[in-house]
Chain A
Amino acid sequence: MIARLLAIAIAEFRIQTRNRWLASATVLMLLFALALTFAGSAPTGTLGVDLLTVAVASMTTLAVYLAPFLALMIAFDAVAGEAERGTLGLTLTYPLSRGEMLLGKFTAHLAVLAIAITLGLGAAGLAAWLAGGAGTESARALARLIATSILLGASFLALGYAASALSGSGAAAAGLAVGLWLVLVVLYDLGLLGALVFDQGGDFTKHIFPWLLAANPADAFRLWNVAGSQEVALISGMAGAGKALPGWAAPLSLFLWPVLALVLARAAFARVEP
């Protein structure tokens, strides 16, 4: 099983690097992270924290959008695109289970994401440290940001496979992926914000809202990073919601999402007839 999974992972990793996806994702991550780090450096003095802390707070906002986006762009082609091009049928005639194939691709794609995120955010963090100093606390916040960004990406990779397996064509899969991104990363928060305004600090705001936040992988990612660092929480103004939740809620959500989404993708893949 491991041999077949690795065979798929190796081939897939090669394809991703040759398609320049690895390079583009890394450069994209780095450019955005650098831009935000130095654009957001103005309030450093007033808050009395080092530049890396500010940079991590800015990069947290960035990663919420960028990590899911990169993951979906890598993943949406995995089933529908291969079926369309005719490469899926032959591969599935080999003694390889569909689960092994998905996990093989997941391994390769996660490696691509992890490299892009670690290099991109890591380099920006290094630049912030050199320019404005850092402490153990802010270095730990950066490490946490990188690890949780990879986890967030993993959720959206798996969601991308599900979208791909549910779509009849590569184009439909791309559309569904963009829709998923919009709903989970943008519209979900807008909806919650609307409900908060409507509720005006009632029971919904106190008891239900924090859990709804934790249930969305993108918000769970924010919560986890914020809860981990008082200083980051201070800057991003999200301390309130985090306090109402037990500490395990956001990490559990971020670990559970990739698993559940992979199960969903596997079920959708079972119905594909290449």
Chain B
Amino acid sequence: MTDRDTALTIAGLDKSYGRTPVLEGITIHLAPGERVALLGHNGAGKSTLIRLILGLTHPGAGTIRVVGHAPGSAAARAATAYLPEQVAFHKSLTGREQLTTFARLAGEHPRTVAPLLERVGLIDAADRRIGTYSKGMRQRLGLAQALLGRRRVALLDEPTSGLDPISRHDLYAVVDEMAANGTALLIASHALTELEARTDRIAIMAKGRLVADDSLVNLARAAALPTRIRLTARDGTADAVQAELGGDRKNGRTVELHCTTDQKMAQLARISALGDAVRDIEMVPPSLEDLYRHYCAELRP
């Protein structure tokens, strides 16, 4: 793959603050239109990686290319959208004035500002000072500035923090729209939730290293976390069901089984062979939380 095929290329990246290594050997590529969730606990190094890509700080070793350009160069900055973790603006400017300033800096016509404010639901508050905005409104304004112009790479640092469920839903739509326009998105988060699960790939960082980088499906397969099957037995048959299938007895009539993905069909066949004895069946696939904990635990001493 050449630089032109990838929106973002990072290879062998190291960064330390003083003697403390913060990032070690990070290598990751993003193709145009790809959505990648960057997961990790607080302090894993996600924000530092994003600041390196933006050229706000400099690596100890390794290379970064933003659509072929060095990080922090005018071309790389023109191609990159950024939503900071703690998004802050000048309190005494109005939302419209602040966004107009960013539009001018990005070389966009101020005409593009009103539709964007409309898009993020801030048009009614556009002429109020940002000092009067709620955290969620500032986050929306942050999102609006990230939508200015045609950016090739978008770096969203914990974009869902402080958003209510409806805003979250809007955020999903914005992310999908940007991806559809060919923007590569790197979305940092400290939790694996619905938004992160909707991405094309998941990269997990722990203590400055990348411990996983694959699609959710592949990650789940590789982790081989068991699916839970919960059976509700007919009155008085729970013992017989447990004797036949094994598993744990949860209460008078519930039996819980654990099975891996490839055992699932065989297990289901055995269950249906029991006929009337089983009144109900519920399958609980491994949760996103289980999966995330599995990968983050790998590096624990």
Q: Which residues of A contact B (CB under 8 A)?
A: 3-4, 6-8, 10-11, 14-15, 18-19, 85-87, 89-97, 273-274
Assess whether B77 is in contact with A3, with CB atoms less than 8 Å apart. Answer: no
Task: Give chain A's interface secondary structure class.
Answer: helix
Q: A169–B74 Cα gap in the complex (Å)?
A: 27
- Given A3-B104, A7-B101, A10-B101, residue A93 in contact with residue B89 (CB < 8 A): no
Q: Which of B78, B92, B104 sits near A18, CB closer than 8 Å? A: B92
**Would you give 17 A-B contacts (Cβ < 8 Å), ordered by A?**
A4-B104, A6-B104, A7-B101, A7-B104, A10-B101, A85-B88, A89-B56, A90-B82, A90-B87, A93-B80, A93-B82, A94-B105, A95-B74, A95-B78, A96-B77, A96-B105, A274-B56
B93 at the interface (CB under 8 A from A): yes
Q: Complex: how many Å from CA A61 to CA B2?
A: 66
List B contacts of A3 (CB < 8 A).
104, 107
**Please, how many angstroms separate the alpha-carbon atoms of A10 and B89 in the complex?**
15
Let me know if B54 is at the binding interface, CB within 8 A.
Answer: yes
- Give the residues in chain B near A7, CB-CB below 8 Å: 101, 104-105
For the complex formed, measure the closest distance between the CB of B135 and the CB atoms of chain A, giving whole angstroms: 13
A103 to B51, alpha carbons, bound, how many Å? 24
User: Which of A6, A10, A90 interacts with B145 by CB under 8 Å?
Assistant: A90
Nearest chain B CB to A79 CB, angstrom units? 14
Residue from A87, A94, A273 within 8 A of B89 (CB atoms): A87
Q: Which of B22-56 contact A (CB under 8 A)?
A: 51, 54, 56
Q: Contact at A93–B101, with CB atoms within 8 Å?
A: no
Contact partner of A86 (CB less than 8 A), chosen from B80, B86, B93, is B86
Report yes or no: B90 in contact with A15, Cβ–Cβ below 8 A.
yes
A19 to B75 alpha-carbon distance, docked (Å): 35
Residues of A within 8 A of B75 (CB): 95
A138 to B51, CA, bound (A): 57
Closest to A87 in B: B88
Contact yes or no, A90 B84, CB < 8 A: yes
Bound CA span A6–B80, Å: 22
Q: Give the chain A neighbours of B90 by CB distance below 8 A.
A: 11, 15, 87
Question: In the complex the two chains form, is B82's CB within 8 Å of A11's CB?
Answer: no
Determine the distance from Cα of A10 to Cα of B142 in the docked complex, in whole angstroms: 20
Are B57 and A273 within 8 A (Cβ)?
A: yes
Complex formed: what's the CA distance from A83 to B92 in Å?
17
Q: How long is the Cα–Cα vector from A18 to B74 in the complex, in angstroms?
A: 31
With contacts A7-B101, A10-B101, A11-B98 taken as known, whether A86 is within 8 angstroms of B84 at the C-beta atoms is yes
Are A11 and B88 in contact, with the CB atoms below 8 A? no
List the A residue with the shortest CB-CB distance to B102.
A94
Is there a chain A Cβ closer than 8 Å to B106's Cβ? yes
Give the complex CA separation of A97 and B73 in angstroms: 9
B97 CB–A CB distance under 8 Å:
yes
Closest 10 CB pairs of A and B: A7-B104, A86-B88, A94-B105, A18-B92, A95-B78, A11-B101, A95-B77, A93-B82, A95-B74, A273-B57
Residues of the B chain whose Cβ atoms lie less than 8 Å from the Cβ of A85: 88
Asked whether B105 lies within 8 Å of A4 as measured between CB atoms, the reply is yes
Task: Knowing A273-B57, A274-B56 are in contact, say whether A8-B86 is a contact too (CB < 8 A).
Answer: no
**Nearest-CB distance from A92 to chain B (Å)?**
7
- B93 touching A14, Cβ below 8 Å: yes
Bound form: Cα–Cα A92–B82 in Å: 10
Cα of A18 to Cα of B132 in the assembled complex, Å: 14
Closest to A84 in B: B88
